[in-house]
Amino acid sequence: MLGQFRLRAERHMKLFRCLRKSAALRKRITRTDSIRPGDVLAFVVLRNELVRLPYFLEYYRAQGVRHFLMVDNGSDDGTAEYLERQRDVSLWTTQASYKGASFGVDWLNHLLWLYGVGHWVLVLDVDEFLVYPFCDTRPLSALTDWLDSQGRRSFGAMLLDMYPKGPISAQPYQSGQNPFEIARFFDSGNLGIRRNAPYQNLWIQGGVRQRVIMATQPKAAPALNKIPLVRWQRQYAYISSTHTLLPRALNKVYDDSGGEFASGVLLHAKFLDTILAKTREELTRAEHYAASREYQAYAASLAQGQDLWCEWSSEYINWRQLEILGLMSKGDWA
Amino acid sequence: MSGQGAPLGIIMLCHTALHRAAQVARFWLDAGCPVVIHLDRAVSHADRDAMRAALGAHPLVRFSPRHRCAWGSWQLVAATQDAAELMLRDFPQTGHVMLISGACLPLRPASELQAHLAAHPQTDFIESVAIEHAEWITGGLSEERFTLYFPFNWHKQRLAFDTFVDVQRKLGIRREIPRPLRPHMGSQWWCLTRKTLSAILTDPRRKRYDRYFRQNWIPDESYFQTLARVHAAQIDSRSLTLVKFDRNGRPNLFYDDHLQLLRRSDCFVARKIWPEANRLYDFFLSDQLARQPRLPAEPAKIDRYFELAEQQRREGRAGLYMQSRFPAHDSAAAKTAGPYSVFSGFDHLFENFEHWLGQVSGARAHGHLFASERVQFHGGARVWHGAISDSAAIRDYNPRMFLTNLLWAARGERQCFAYGPEDMMDHEVNWFMATDTNAEIQVIRGAWILPLWRRGVVSDAVVAEVARLQKREQLWLEVLESRWVLAKCKIWTVSEICAAPEQCLAMAVQDSANAAALTAHGLAQLYRLEGLPEFLTALRNQGLPPQNFKDFNF
């Protein structure tokens, strides 16, 4: 009981905080009038991602995302100008600290509170590509209709780190290209999962980042559990990235009695040559989680030509392959 | 119209996706079938007008009086009655009348259905199962649907619904079922002959029946099903409409990728179609259907498809721990993906045990997977199936999932490994394996002392190490000897093994080894143990309790 009060207080604090932090957001262009009831919306915070944007937008438009609500955190590579020209994008800009806004979560919560209510929302980074059961034959709205019919309000999709074979700099990424032509490989079965008691979500670590980059300090490996698709309500709030939500019932995207819930995967196109420049930039900015520990590790490994590939790496084919491997499930969505 | 027999009348109950319903209505109209459409009262005027406009002033179309049809409510029956009366009155030539929904899609040309009905002019096609035999009912209530009162909505007032049912059970309330009705249930979607339908609608006791069914739970699945038993001449108790229900009793939706599956159905109509399944609507409503070769009907295949999905949701895949399946302790039938064997101490007593085991078993024989410095995968591999790392740090961060991951990634191949007090023993892992029906655990008690003996010195450090491992083994054996053990466990002593090494070894590996390979390769050789008693004596003299060595009676 006490725990519930504590969580409720935390949620209210979070919602209040996002209101406060939203003062830093400047409207660049809003086309939110064009949002229709029932549209699936995407919410994104980004910085200097011009090269990735064309494929990102194309990918999610094809899945049926109707509007993108984006926060540009001080890009200087033309990201904002590019997004301004897209007819289905509403754009806010801010020069404020990413870290100071709980790594962007405060801004997202605010926009979700304003525009997300009643919609299925996808909260994403530009290097995350959602794969869900039957995504090759059914649009996102088929999934969200089904989730509605099952009374589900959230849908889990774990991060799956994708990587190329050979040094990361060997295959440069071209704008508009499918990043998984280069980053074609992934680790299929080395995840560690534990229950995160207070929030009732699963805490998943592992994959290539733990195997290679954080091998000596596995505890510090980044969390891979994500809940990016939610039927938003005004009282909801993301707590840390899209790993954790409140109220905590939203975190229960797994069955604990032996069965399987339907779930998806966010293919993570982080390990492209673009990460090398990003690493240099982020280390000077120090705006990332845990003193940018992750980027320090990248500087020590990837920048030195470390190969992430191993003989048991799997090459990506499609969602059915991921399902057979046990990384995602169609549950009873037949 | 195909000209065989009387035309088929279609009653459509519609509430959403009216553009699709209009398309389907058009399909039946083009085949010369009169269509009576019921629009739910919740449908807006704009949508209603749009649908009327889409169909135009067709002589074979009628719109019946509108009701607000909540799920499982009497209004569904009332709407059907009104529509049926309209059909019988306005289209006197109609033979059979078929009830479908706005989300139904015909799977075969209308002429085929007409021919089927013309061949069975007196048959009523309605699934109608006597309540005492209907074991497939979702929701727990079977006969009580007919004998209790249900004033509350199951979806929206669940608590009140459940409480009211409980109260009535406690009070022993039992409504009388009007004679001569015998409760029957079945799919809501039927195809009745004109004769049966009008007999039901003009029954002199209809008022009494209606009053009774109004109080029932889900009368749309029992009203016509029960009354057809009174009036029908010949019932084929099988719906012509394909519906697959999910675990919550909701119909599964059909999507574009189900096209090939639907083509294999032996039904004439399918419910329920996702409104945006363009490919399905294009295919089944156009002449594409007639042009494609007919596929043989395999209804069992469709059943299987949905059963598998339901099974995956209910039971999941054994031994899989992932983001949307994480069974709490002991809540799943199987804890791991397949059988495996744990050998403790065998590698210290037998020469080249791991290599030999691999040869005679066809199983994968690893070294000490939980060794303190690194994981000893088979052949010294640095990474294993699933890209599992040999890093001890990663393994020890989540040892239980290290084990379940390995067994999942290598499913289909039996895994064997060495394990003992000299390893990173994790109490949780010990319990996990001991209570896992897939595990086979063979332990030679005290064998871990042999590597210490082979080092050849008796120092304080060695004594301390012996004491530490002894304690650890004791804890493990307490787990293995507890009454909760589900694994197949066998605990040997060194002296037992030394007395009859070949017999013991053959027994220990009988689950993993195959007889032919055993004959071909023979048994592993026992190491020579000369000098061991002196070592044990020295330890005893250093102050370790003598009962610790009672297993070593050579």
Structural domain boundaries in chain A: 2-325
Asked if B393 and A257 come within 8 Å (Cβ–Cβ), the reply is: no
B349-384 per-position pLDDT tens digit: 999 999 999 989 888 999 999 999 999 999 999 999
pLDDT of residue A5: 86
Characterize A315-326 residue by residue with b for buried, 16 or more Cβ atoms within 10 angstroms of its Cβ, and e for exposed: ebeebeebbebb
Whether this prediction's pTM lies above 0.95 is answered by: no
Alpha-carbon gap, residue B481 to A300, rounded angstroms:
49
pLDDT of residue B46: 94
Query: CB distance A256–B326 less than 8 Å?
Result: yes
Judged by a CB distance cut-off of 8 A, whether residue B309 touches chain A is yes
Tell me if A175 sits within 8 A of A284, measured CB to CB. Answer: no
The answer for B 317-356 residues in CB contact with A (under 8 A) is 317, 320-328, 331-333
Report pLDDT for A280: 87
Q: What is the pLDDT of residues A252-283, one digit of tens each?
A: 999 999 999 999 999 999 999 999 988 888 88
- What is the least distance, in Å, from the CA of B382 to any CA of chain A? 9
Output B545 or A158, whichever has higher pLDDT: A158
Residue in A with minimal Cα distance to B310: A332
Question: Which CATH number, 1.10.10, 3.90.550, 2.60.120, 3.30.750, labels domain A2-325?
Answer: 3.90.550
The answer to whether residue A327 scores a pLDDT higher than 80 is yes
Q: How confident is the model at residue A1 (pLDDT cuts 50, 70, 90)?
A: low
- Whether B245 has its CB under 8 Å from any CB of chain A: the answer is no
Q: What is the pLDDT of residue B139?
A: 55
pLDDT in tens, A110-123: 999 999 999 999 99
pLDDT tens-digit map of A218-259: 999 999 999 999 999 999 999 988 999 989 999 999 999 999
pLDDT of residue B330: 72
Q: Is B260 on the interface with A (CB under 8 A)?
A: no
State the pairing for strand pair A26-29/A229-231: unpaired
Q: Is there a contact between A332 and B276 if contact means CB atoms under 8 Å apart? A: no
pLDDT at B256: 96
pLDDT band at A4 (very low <50, low <70, confident <90, very high): confident
Size of interface A-B (CB pairs under 8 A): 181
- pLDDT, residue B441, reads 96
Predicted ipTM of the assembly: 0.94
Question: What is the percent of chain B where pLDDT is above 70?
Answer: 97
| pLDDT for the residue B62 | 94
- Closest residue to B324, CB basis, from A208, A254, A334: A254
Token duo for residue A223:
């969390």
| CA B364 to centroid of chain Cα atoms | 31
Taking the C-alpha atoms of residue A262 and residue B12, their distance in angstroms, rounded to an integer, is 33
The count of other CB atoms within 10 Å of the CB of residue A88 is: 17
User: Rounded distance, CA A23 to CA A141, Å?
Assistant: 33
- Cβ(A271)–Cβ(A162) below 8 Å: yes
Nearest CB neighbour to A326, from listed B244, B382, B408: B408
Chain B nearest-CA residue for A252: B324
Low-confidence ranges of chain B (pLDDT < 50): 1-3
Give the minimum alpha-carbon distance from A96 to chain B in angstroms, rounded to a whole number: 34
Give the separation between CA B416 and CA B395, rounded to whole angstroms. Answer: 17
Q: Which of A73, A123, A124 is nearest to A98 (CA)?
A: A73
pLDDT score for B3: 46
Angle at CA B386, nearest 5°, toward B385 and B390? 70
Q: Measured between beta carbons, which residues in chain B are less than 8 angstroms from residue A223?
A: none
DSSP B263-310: TT-SSSEEE-B-TT-HHHHHHHHSTHHHHSPPPPP-HHHHHHHHHHHH
> CB under 8 Å, gap of 24 or more: what pairs does A177-185 form?
A177/A55, A178/A55, A179/A52, A179/A55, A179/A127, A179/A129, A179/A269, A179/A272, A180/A129, A180/A267, A180/A269, A180/A316, A182/A272, A183/A269, A183/A271, A183/A272, A184/A315, A184/A316, A185/A308, A185/A309, A185/A313, A185/A314, A185/A315, A185/A316
Residue B421: left if φ>0, alpha if ψ -120 to 50, beta else—which one?
alpha
| pLDDT at residue B2, as a whole number | 42
Inter-residue contact A186 to A314 (CB < 8 Å):
yes
Give the residue from B324, B373, B405 with the most A CB atoms within 10 Å of its CB, the best one to mutate: B324
Closest Cα in chain A to B390: A211
Nearest to B387 among A134, A225, A310 (CB): A310
